């Protein structure tokens, strides 16, 4: 199932905040090119342009709807279709910025090492990845997958691979870096109710599950999942629910 830029942007402020906080930790970097890896609808690309100007920023993504949306938003910026699993720049870059994409690539620690090799000295690799597989939002996906008449479609798991530890990223990147900054933040997003949490993950983590469920069972699957979410996220006194969302951040500066 392809991504939907429109669905993704329903929570644009919340999804862009970690990109802002990641960018705030990126130092000044010479004048080499800047790539927004997994640029999505261009929200993170816009932050890069605001800070570095538009002449050297380029967005990459593998999804047509996301690329079209990004191009509409930023008509003067180059957006290219590429798979980050095998993409390399044609010349050493100044910054690889990747907000909320590398969690989808199970072999990303090896890609990070390769990306460091493709930076100019003093260039930066700046990455943020959701680290939320242990949260109810994601545990309930697994429970729902195993619960209904769609169970046979999940014999092969669709669960994302958990992120390695912060320490293991440090150990891998330290030999090629003059400085590494690693941190983890848990956001508590204020949501109108359980349905809003379902809408949030429908644009991201729930997609591979919905992909697997045959179309005629999808409504029942969503109802099962929504009921579990409603039990897991209790309403606060004002009726809203808090979506706890841990994210891991890494900024590595190349030697």
Ligand X SMILES: C[S@@+](CC[C@H](N)C(=O)[O-])C[C@H]1O[C@@H](n2cnc3c(N)ncnc32)[C@H](O)[C@@H]1O
Site residues for ligand X per CB under 6 A = 3, 15-16, 19, 38-40, 43-44, 61-63, 66, 83-85, 99-101, 104-105, 204
By beta-carbon proximity to ligand X, the closer residue of 77 and 204 is 204
Say which residues have a Cβ less than 8 Å from residue 33's Cβ, sequence separation at least 6. Answer: 56, 57, 58, 89, 91, 93, 94
Residue 13: CB minimum distance to ligand X, A: 11
Rounded to the nearest 10°, the torsion over CA 141, 241, 15, 172 is -60
* Alpha-carbon distances of 127 from 54, 117, 240, rounded to whole Å: 21, 16, 31
Residue 86: CB minimum distance to ligand X, A: 9
Cβ contact 25:126 at 8 Å: yes
Cα–Cα nearest to 240, from 187, 198, 193, 196: 193
Instruction: Give the residue at shortest CB distance from ligand X.
Output: 40
By beta-carbon proximity to ligand X, the closer residue of 160 and 240 is 160
Cβ contact 41:66 at 8 Å: yes
Residue 83: CB minimum distance to ligand X, A: 5
By beta-carbon proximity to ligand X, the closer residue of 2 and 190 is 2
How far is the C-alpha of 90 from the C-alpha of 221, rounded, in Å?
45
By beta-carbon proximity to ligand X, the closer residue of 84 and 115 is 84
By beta-carbon proximity to ligand X, the closer residue of 108 and 172 is 108
Residue 24: CB minimum distance to ligand X, A: 14
Residue 16: CB minimum distance to ligand X, A: 6
b/e map 116-151, b = 16+ CB within 10 Å = bebbbebbbbbbbbbbbbebbbbebbeebbeebebe
By beta-carbon proximity to ligand X, the closer residue of 144 and 204 is 204
Residue 85: CB minimum distance to ligand X, A: 5
By beta-carbon proximity to ligand X, the closer residue of 112 and 150 is 112
Cα-only R_g, the chain: 19
Count the neighbouring beta carbons within 10 Å of the beta carbon of residue 238.
6
How far is the C-alpha of 142 from the C-alpha of 247, rounded, in Å?
20
Residue 134: CB minimum distance to ligand X, A: 19
């Amino acid at each position: 199932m392809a991504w939907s830029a429109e669905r993704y942007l329903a929570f644009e402020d919340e999804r862009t905040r970690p990109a802002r906080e990641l960018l705030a930790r990126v130092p000044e970097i010479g004048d080499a090119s800047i790539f927004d890896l997994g640029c999505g609808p261009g929200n993170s690309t816009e932050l890069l342009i605001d800070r570095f100007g538009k002449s050297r920023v380029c967005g990459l993504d593998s999804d047509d709807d996301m690329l079209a949306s990004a191009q509409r938003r930023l008509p003067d910026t180059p957006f290219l279709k590429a798979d980050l699993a095998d993409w390399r720049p044609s010349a050493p870059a100044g910054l690889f910025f990747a907000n909320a994409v590398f969690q989808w690539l199970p072999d990303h620690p090896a890609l990070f090492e390769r990306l460091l090799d493709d930076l100019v000295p003093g260039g930066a690799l700046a990455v943020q990845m959701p680290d939320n597989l242990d949260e109810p939002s994601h545990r309930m996906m697994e429970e729902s997958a195993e619960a209904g008449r769609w169970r046979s479609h999940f014999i092969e798991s669709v669960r994302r691979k958990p992120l390695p530890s912060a320490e293991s990223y440090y150990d891998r990147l330290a030999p090629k870096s003059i400085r590494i900054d690693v941190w983890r933040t848990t956001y508590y997003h204020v949501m109108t109710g359980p349905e809003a949490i379902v809408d949030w993950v429908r644009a991201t983590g729930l997609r591979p599950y919905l992909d697997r469920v045959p179309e005629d069972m999808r409504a029942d699957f969503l109802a099962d999942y929504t009921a579990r979410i409603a039990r897991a996220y209790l309403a606060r006194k004002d009726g809203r629910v808090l979506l706890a969302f841990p994210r891991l951040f890494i900024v590595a500066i190349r030697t």
